[in-house]
Amino acid sequence: MKRSKIIDHSKVVFFTAFFCALCFSAFAQPGLQEIGDATREVKRSYNSLVNLCYVVGAITGLVGGARVYSNWNTGKHHIDAQVVGWFLSCIFFQTVAILISALYGV
């Protein structure tokens, strides 16, 4: 008989926590007005974001090139993974700049 009371108690606790979490998640949803405001804000600062992506990509390329050159001169001949990693990070930042324009239709 004690076993059934423990099971019933755990069910009550579970369902109480579930419904509380369900209620709290309903309040966390942003409205359409906020999404529209965010879209207008990004469109306003689009050129700055694209230029920032290009600058970060260029700095990443320069730092990566310097590190690869330094490692190559110190005798580390297995730098293929470093070259690919730095190159792909530069490509990533350039792609982000293109995706921002496609996402917001600018």
pLDDT at 60 over 70: yes
Q: What whole-number distance in Å separates Cα of residue 95 and Cα of residue 99? A: 6
Task: Please report the pLDDT score of residue 35 as a whole number.
Answer: 79
Compute the Cα dihedral for 52, 58, 63, 67 and give only its sign.
Answer: positive
Q: What is the pLDDT of residue 100?
A: 78
Question: Residue 82's pLDDT is what?
Answer: 82
Structure confidence at residue 3 (pLDDT): 55
Contact 65, 88 (CB under 8 A): no
Average pLDDT over residues 42-64: 83
Which contacts of 13-22 are long-range, i.e. CB under 8 A and separated by 24 or more positions? none
pLDDT of amino acid 88:
85
Phi, psi of 31 (to 5 degrees): -90, 175
The mean per-residue pLDDT over the stretch 8-23 comes to 66
For residue 25, pLDDT beyond 80: no
Residue 83 neighbours by CB under 8 Å, 6+ apart: 68
The average pLDDT across 54-78 equals 85
The model carries a pTM of: 0.53
